[in-house]
Amino acid sequence: MDKYAVIGNPIEHSLSPEIHSAFATHTDQNLEYERLWAPNDGFVKRVESFIKDGGLGLNVTAPFKQDAFNWVTELDPLATKAQAVNTIQIDGNRRIGFNTDGLGLVADLKRLDWQLENQKLLILGAGGATMGILQPLLDVGCEITVANRTYSKAEALQLLYPSIQICSLDKLHTGWDIVINSTSAMRVGSKLAVDTSVFEHAKCYDLTYSLDGTTPFLDSLIDVATDTSEGLGMLVEQAAEAFFIWRGIRPDTQSVLSQLRVPQPLRRFIAGAKCHKCGADDRIYVEYDDLKTPNTQGCLACGYRESRDGTTTVQIYEPK
């Protein structure tokens, strides 16, 4: 059977096997898809043994996108621009590197019906994730500003992409159509110090994905943004681009996205409650799977969440 895989470290939580298996089922393709773990210095060895076993293609995730970029024998123009490879096609002795992240993001923004052409788009962060999405966003006509905590990194990015504007994170103004969080701040547990006025009247997208439709970054904008989305759709769309490269067929992404996403919980705020973690007033919520059964309590201000377990009620708020 034709063999494909995703390689990363860590890799056990990757959703790629579920996504590609669903694509294969829906399009009647006979293939198998597995997770490959490699030590941080073991990308080449693991990939070469996978190819020896008949592997035809790979998705590449952190921390190996640069190793893949250096290892392939040919590069697609978007991978060259991104200086990173997230998809590899094996064709005889050819190892062709692609980057489908930016195409995946653009496809998801279109699925959300967010207008892109001539829109003022702010990207927070100037690291590898931003490099992966810039060219496809420029290609669809976005007017892009990149803001980064370390200004020199934004300057270096502007040398590679002269049509972007740059700004330092603490000098941002308001007036954006779309804001994309491409920083690793919340993933690495640090605070993203951007004034919430920056997000007023903007649609906000977080490249981080979640199965319940929200992230700590988006939760903090609930009162100011006009629309929000986390990155699960981008994950599915970039996978669909890879599937198309390998199999020449475009799978239906919407059905796979619905299959992955758990139903969005209903959220109700508790009037007069104070968070016992951060002391914020009126920011405590309860989430329900349905209208009857509360399952989680949390604080929107500090992001603290706690589950209710069976008959035990874990009270995380104190009445005023």
CB of 132 to ligand ATR, least distance (A): 8
Piece of 15-23, 145-153, 208-216, 294-302 that binds ligand ATR (CB under 6 A):
145-153
CB of 273 to ligand ATR, least distance (A): 29
CA torsion sign, 179 to 240 to 63 to 34? positive
Can you list the pairs that 282-286 forms with residues at least 24 positions away whose Cβ atoms lie under 8 Å?
Answer: 284/316, 284/317
Task: Report the C-alpha gap between 96 and 17 in whole angstroms.
Answer: 21
Piece of 119-127, 228-236, 250-258, 291-299 that binds ligand ATR (CB under 6 A):
119-127
Which residues, numbered 187-246, are part of the site for ligand ATR (CB under 6 A)?
190-192
Q: Residue 185, interface with ligand ATR (CB under 6 A)?
A: yes
| Exposed/middle/buried for residue 241 (C-beta within 10 Å: 0-12, 13-18, 19+) | buried
CB of 267 to ligand ATR, least distance (A): 26
- Using the 8-state DSSP alphabet, how is residue 265 labeled? P
Q: Residue 129, interface with ligand ATR (CB under 6 A)?
A: yes
Give the chain's length. 320
- Using the 8-state DSSP alphabet, how is residue 312 labeled? B
Question: Which of 70, 150, 295, 313: binder of ligand ATR (CB under 6 A)?
Answer: 150
- The torsion region of residue 161 among left (phi > 0), alpha (psi -120 to 50) and beta comes to beta
Q: Residue 63, interface with ligand ATR (CB under 6 A)?
A: no
| 302 and 277 Cβ atoms separated by less than 8 Å | yes
CB of 101 to ligand ATR, least distance (A): 10
Piece of 100-108, 184-192, 229-237, 268-276 that binds ligand ATR (CB under 6 A):
184-192
Question: Which of 21, 29, 184, 214: binder of ligand ATR (CB under 6 A)?
Answer: 184
Tell me whether residue 149 or residue 274 sits nearer to ligand ATR (CB atom). Answer: 149
Query: Does residue 169 sit in helix, strand or coil?
Result: helix
Q: Residue 134, interface with ligand ATR (CB under 6 A)?
A: no
Tell me whether residue 95 or residue 149 sits nearer to ligand ATR (CB atom). Answer: 149
Q: Residue 183, interface with ligand ATR (CB under 6 A)?
A: yes
Cα–chain center distance at 160: 23
320 catalytic per annotation: no
The token duo for 140 is: 């669809």
Choose, from 45, 65, 191, 203, the residue flagged as catalytic: 65
Terminal C-alpha separation, the chain: 63
Tell me whether residue 31 or residue 122 sits nearer to ligand ATR (CB atom). Answer: 122
Q: Residue 126, interface with ligand ATR (CB under 6 A)?
A: yes
CB of 250 to ligand ATR, least distance (A): 27
Tell me whether residue 87 or residue 296 sits nearer to ligand ATR (CB atom). Answer: 87
For the chain, list the strands marked E by DSSP.
2-8, 31-37, 55-60, 74-75, 87-91, 94-98, 120-124, 143-148, 165-168, 178-181, 203-206, 227-230, 266-269, 273-275, 284-288, 294-299, 305-307, 317-319
**Count of residues engaged in binding ligand ATR, rule: CB under 6 A:** 16
Nearest to 85 by CA among 8, 182, 29, 4: 8
Question: Which of 148, 208, 296, 297: binder of ligand ATR (CB under 6 A)?
Answer: 148
Tell me whether residue 131 or residue 286 sits nearer to ligand ATR (CB atom). Answer: 131
| Interface residue list for ligand ATR (CB under 6 A) | 125-129, 148-150, 153, 169, 183-185, 190-192
Catalytic residues: 65
